Amino acid sequence: MTPANFDFHCHSAVSDGLLPPQEVARRAAGNGVDLWALTDHDDLGGLLIAGEAAAEAGMGFVPGVEISIEWRGVPVHVVGLGFDREDRGLSGGLDELRSGRIERARRMGDALAAIGIPGAYEGALCFVTNPSLVTRAHFARYLVSVGIARDMPGVFQHYLTPGKPGYVDHRWATLQEAIGWISGAGGVAVVAHPGRYRMSGGEMRGLLDEFRDLGGQGLEVTSGSHSPDQVMHFARLARHYGFHASRGSDFHGPQESYVDLGRLPQLPEDLKPVWRLLS
Binding site for ligand AMP (CB under 6 A): 16, 41, 68, 135-137, 152-153, 156, 252
Closest Cα to residue 7, out of 270, 207, 257, 196? 257
Residue closer to ligand AMP (CB basis): 5 or 135: 135
Helix axes 101-114, 136-145, angle to 10 degrees: 40
Nearest-5° Cα angle at 70, 136 to 203: 120
Tell me the one-letter amino acid at 38.
L
Q: Which residues contact 157 (CB under 8 A, 6 or more apart)?
A: 164
Beta-sheet strand order (sheet of 218-223): 6-7, 35-38, 60-71, 74-81, 188-191, 218-223, 244-248
Residue 136 binding target from Mn ion, ligand AMP, none, CB below 5 to 8 Å by type: ligand AMP
Name the nearest CA neighbour of 109 among 161, 43, 160, 147: 160
| Cα 111 from Cα 113, distance rounded (Å) | 5
Q: Which of 34, 43, 220, 250 binds Mn ion (CB under 5 A)?
A: 250
Comparing every residue's Cβ against Mn ion, the nearest one is: 77
Q: Which is nearer to Mn ion, 177 or 250 (CB)?
A: 250
Q: Which is nearer to Mn ion, 34 or 250 (CB)?
A: 250
Taking the C-alpha atoms of residue 34 and residue 18, their distance in angstroms, rounded to an integer, is 22
| Torsion sign across C-alpha atoms 250, 253, 255, 260 | positive
141 interacts with, out of ligand AMP, Mn ion, none, CB within 5 to 8 A per kind: none
CA pair distance 275, 251, nearest whole angstrom: 19
Q: What is the DSSP track for 140-204? A: HHHHHHTTSSSSHHHHIIIIISTTSTT------B-HHHHHHHHHHTT-EEEE--GGGS---HHHH
Strand 60-71 and strand 74-81: the pairing is antiparallel
Residue number, 12 or 135, with CB nearest to ligand AMP: 135
How far apart are CB 57 and ligand AMP at their closest, in Å?
Answer: 25
Minimum distance, C-beta of residue 186 to ligand AMP, in the bound complex (Å): 25
Closest contact distance (angstroms) between CB of 2 and ligand AMP is: 30
Kindly tell me which of 161 and 272 has the beta carbon lying closer to ligand AMP: 161
Nearest approach, Cβ of residue 118 and Mn ion (Å): 25
Pick out residues in 73-132 that bind Mn ion (CB under 5 A). 77
Residues in the chain: 279
Give the nearer residue to ligand AMP in terms of CB position, either 85 or 170.
Answer: 170
What does 59 bind: ligand AMP, Mn ion, none (CB cut-off 5 to 8 Å by kind)? Answer: none
> CB under 5 to 8 A by kind: which of Mn ion, ligand AMP, none does 189 bind?
none
Q: Whole-number minimum distance, CB 3 to ligand AMP, in Å?
A: 25
Nearer residue to Mn ion within complex by CB, 170 or 239: 170
- Smallest separation, CB 153 to ligand AMP (Å): 5
Footprint on residues 2-31 left by Mn ion (CB under 5 A):
16
CB of 219 to ligand AMP, least distance (A): 18
Residues contributing to the site for Mn ion (CB under 5 A): 16, 66, 77, 137, 250
